[in-house]
Structure 1
Amino acid sequence: MTIQSPEVEVRAPRSLHGVGVTSGLAAGAWLGAAEAPTKLVAAGLTPFIVSLGMVAGVFVARWTVPVMLRGTHSLASDLKARPHLIVWAILAGMLWAVANTLTVFAIRDVGLSIAFPLWNTNSLIGLFWGWLLFNELRGSETKDWAKVLGGAGAIVIGACLLAYATQHSSATIAEGARTRGILAALGAGVLWGTMYIPYRKAYISGMNPLSFVTVFTVGELGTTLPLALIYQGGVGGLQTELSRAMPSLFWLFLGGFCWVLGDLFQQYAAKYIGIGRGIPLSNTNQLWGLAWGALVFGELAALSTEARMLVVGGSLVMIAGAVAIGLAEAPASEQASWRLAMERECRRYGLDPVEVAAAVGGEEATETASGRRPWWEFLIVAGALAIFVWLGLNASSPAIAMDYHWMAVLSAFSLVFLAVGGMVLWRRTRFS
């Protein structure tokens, strides 16, 4: 007699699609804001010091925010149930660290407004991996394929327009720097697009995003620190550069904290609507990067009218492509293909398919204690706050021109996205 495995119930995708879309848009706002502090390279800091400063801030925030939201017991239980994902999280962090360092070089050489859309080609890489490895788009209707592939094509066209726009700014950007900046931004896009493989692998296995990023940051710091040591001349050289950069470290830590908020939203988008849809949607950070670069730092002021039109037009084309992809909601037939990928992970690692299906559907049973929290959780949060206060007391205003009015406006909009995105995630999933 043949015994059939129980059918795993999968929630209808519409409600989760809304959660994923909201998370993707909130991710765009905070990922865009996080790149603004990297403009400090214009104040004389080396890209490796900027990257190390941001990653250190990321490390502090990625241990603090999950502890505040879920507690150490819940995080430990999640990692204990899925230990095979620890190495994947570390690998993802390593890819992120190298890509982030490349973005600093790109911003230094071609500016934030131009570098941003070039590395956002990561959505094309992520779309490919999602289709190949995780059955995304499998079973979709023709109209859904048209939205996704049409959006992907728009992203490529937009990136080409923005790259071409640099040809009109040779008066302000040297030829060698322009080439380096474009290659660095595109290289970051490839690495970030590949980084989403561990993301999706974790979430179809039922891991909570807050647990994943806690281990993820070990790979980030473990990669960025050796890079800084090698290229800054060892421990002595690194100490000298960090001492010189002390007045700017607060802003870099703040950028890392903003990045963590954006990346957490991006993780939830990847979990609930897949990397093929969630990542392009989070790439609306291009609009925010353009706004910060143009309005706060005045990056477009020296460009010709034609170059400005190419930058703005290319950005709009890329965003239109990302929106088309994000609105291509997965039909029931594609959801069935996602379920096959989930069941494959369950068989491979001996996971309970019913429990994993509940976690994938935003119904993970939280084990956060309702009573008192252990003392070390308060110590972790207090330690993080103390680091930021100490750096803030030693901070000084960056030696670069900024429009503080527009900075306040963009910061206020980012806070609105944080509030709305956080509320939607809490009400629908309790940050599952």
Structure 2
Amino acid sequence: MPNTVTRAQTVSMHGLGVVCGLAAGVWLGGAEAPTKLVNVGISPFAVSLAMVLGVFVARWTLPTLLKGTDYVFSDLFTRPHLMVWAVLAGALWAVANTLTVFAIRDVGLAIAFPLWNANSLIGIFWGWLLFQEMRGAGFRVGSRVLGGALAIVAGAILLAFVTVQHTNTGHARAVHGILAALGASLLWGTMYVPYRKAYLSGMNPLSFVTVFTVGELGTMALLAVTFGGGVTHLHAELYMARHVVFWIFLGGFCWVIGDLFQQYATKYIGIGRGIPLSNTNQLWGLAWGALVFGELAHVSGEGRWLIVAGSLLMIAGAVFISSAAAPAREQASGRDAISRECERYGLSLEECVAAQLGARHGDGEKTKRPWWDVLIVAVAVTIFLWLGLQAEVPPLAMNTFWTISLCVVMAFAALGCGWLLWKRTRFE
């Protein structure tokens, strides 16, 4: 009987992971849109730093709202060895995020997105090598993953070719943009190793990202000061661009919402499936770039068809991979990976398995929050108001109808997936 229940729970969590991955795609696609502001004279380092500040605020505010700081710190100090991994993951994210800003500047949002989404391949490799994902999957499931991976590679190659042939930027600049996007792909694919390690150990994504943000903010500050002209220059640049900093800051906050959904997907269905599914953000990135910002206006008819074909090929590959649900033998390999982490760090196997199934949601719940939870949220609201009062409409040509429509889709995805997570796991 217990095995039957466990198998049913695993299938159920696969469905929840798929929904989280799709919601992540919507938000990750929309959150990158504000980085278009790099084309109005703001340096990539200033854009990335402003975005990371928004990420930092969000990574403290959202966990506080959803679970409370008492729960978060209790979860962290139960597994203190994971804090170093969280800082490392944050550092990788900061470098990758900076590379995406360069990629968007050089080749545009609609082109850069599918290139850095090749992180699916990196994630599949690390999941197989380090966490026994796909072990025991069998030919049917394995061929789906391999076929999807090949589709992603083919789509990336096609889009890279179209970029060089059909953009109005110089050849060298286009190549630099492609390399920046692929570099971000490598770093983001590797970044999920610490995440997966944390989730196998039973940690909540909300707890992990709280420490994660220390690594990303520290690394981004170091990059910005070192390569962005120093503290004085960055301060002057951000002050002069204060009328648009709010939108970049908001983009960072929105990115965290998508990233949290992505982490829940990674927790429940693994790296090899969770990342490709969240990489449907390519569809939403293409929608924002083409429909809102008109990025494809100067591309030839043939080039547009090739871009659409490449994008669809990558999306199809990601969906193909994510639809390959883990069979019983692969699930057993996953439990072996959990057992290995528990033995290494002296953790409870029962608790870690329960967390993997979203069944530990009663832990750490309190009816009354401490005063500092209210303070954290109040500070976040104050920062938003302060930046918002200085904001102006960005000097970019934007389609109002499509902007509103895509924002509605983002709200629907967040509310729908958030409700499912709360109902099924209480955000565990």
1:103 counterpart residue number:
100
1:283 counterpart residue number:
279
Q: 1:341-391, CA deviations, whole angstroms, 9 ceiling, x for partnerless residues?
A: 100000000101111111111112444443321111001001001000100
Q: 1:288, 1:338 → 2: CA distance?
A: 32
Q: TM-score, normalised by structure 1?
A: 0.97
Which residues of 2 match residues 176-187 of structure 1 at below 5 A? 176-187=172-183
Which residues of 2 match residues 267-306 of structure 1 at below 5 A? 267-306=263-302
2:185 paired with 1:193: no
Q: 1:122-150, CA deviations, whole angstroms, 9 ceiling, x for partnerless residues?
A: 00000000000000010112110011000
Q: 1:11, 1:230 → 2: CA distance?
A: 51
Match of 2:315 among 306, 319, 342: 319
2:388 counterpart residue number:
392
Which residues of 2 match residues 224-235 of structure 1 at below 5 A? 224-235=220-231
Deviation at 1:424, TM superposition (A): 1.2
Match of 2:214 among 214, 218, 225: 218
Q: 2:6, 2:91 → 1: CA distance?
A: 33
2:58 paired with 1:69: no
Q: How many residues align?
A: 425
Q: TM-score, normalised by structure 2?
A: 0.98
RMSD over aligned Cα atoms: 1.3
1:409 counterpart residue number:
405
Q: 2:103, 2:419 → 1: CA distance?
A: 35
Q: 1:17-51, CA deviations, whole angstroms, 9 ceiling, x for partnerless residues?
A: 00100000000000000000000011110000000
In 1, are the aligned partners of 2:164 and 2:175 still within 8 Å (CA)? no
Which residues of 2 match residues 38-77 of structure 1 at below 5 A? 38-77=35-74
In 1, are the aligned partners of 2:361 and 2:426 still within 8 Å (CA)? no
2:337 paired with 1:341: yes
1:202 counterpart residue number:
198
Q: 1:155-189, CA deviations, whole angstroms, 9 ceiling, x for partnerless residues?
A: 0001111111113324x111111010000000000
In 2, are the aligned partners of 1:30 and 1:261 still within 8 Å (CA)? yes
Q: 1:148, 1:233 → 2: CA distance?
A: 44
Query: What amino acid does structure 2 have at the position aligned with 1:22?
Result: V
Unaligned runs of 5+ in 2: none
2:166 paired with 1:169: yes
Q: 2:374, 2:414 → 1: CA distance?
A: 23
In 2, are the aligned partners of 1:91 and 1:219 still within 8 Å (CA)? yes
Identity %: 64
Q: Which moved more, 1:329-338 or 1:415-424?
A: 415-424
Deviation at 1:418, TM superposition (A): 0.8
Q: 1:259-280, CA deviations, whole angstroms, 9 ceiling, x for partnerless residues?
A: 0000000000000000000000
Q: 1:222, 1:83 → 2: CA distance?
A: 20
Deviation at 1:416, TM superposition (A): 1.0
Q: SS of the residue aligned with 1:329?
A: coil
2:371 counterpart residue number:
375
Q: 1:387, 1:108 → 2: CA distance?
A: 27
Name segments (4+ residues, structure 1) moved above 3 Å.
9-12, 365-370
Q: 2:231, 2:362 → 1: CA distance?
A: 43
Q: 1:71, 1:281 → 2: CA distance?
A: 29
Match of 2:346 among 347, 350, 367: 350
**Cα pair distance change 1:263/1:147, threshold 3 Å:** same
